[in-house]
Amino acid sequence: MLAELKTLPINAKIQLVEDLWDSIGQEQLGSLTQAQKKELDARLDAYIVDGNKGREINTVLNNIKNRL
């Protein structure tokens, strides 16, 4: 099977990895409690309303370094 996968073109390999990753995510969503699902939905809704994408990584790292 691995030998067959190695013969695939790069775009097919990427699609396969994406599909596999998505299937893992779907399995994990099934194991969430109702409270966890509710919290994730609330956070997503808040993000959609707010649109705050957070802070740049360099800003975050500098803040951490300054606290040390």
Domain ranges for the chain, please list them.
10-67
Instruction: Phi first, then psi: give them for residue 55, nearest 5 degrees.
Output: -115, 160
Single-letter code of the amino acid located at 6: K
Mapping DSSP to helix (H, G, I), strand (E, B) and coil, where does residue 68 land? coil
pLDDT number for residue 52: 79
Residue 19: predicted pLDDT: 93
Predicted TM-score (pTM) of the model is 0.42
Where residue 51 falls among pLDDT bands split at 50, 70, 90?
confident
Encode pLDDT of 3-44 as tens digits.
Answer: 999 999 999 999 999 999 988 877 776 778 889 989 999 999
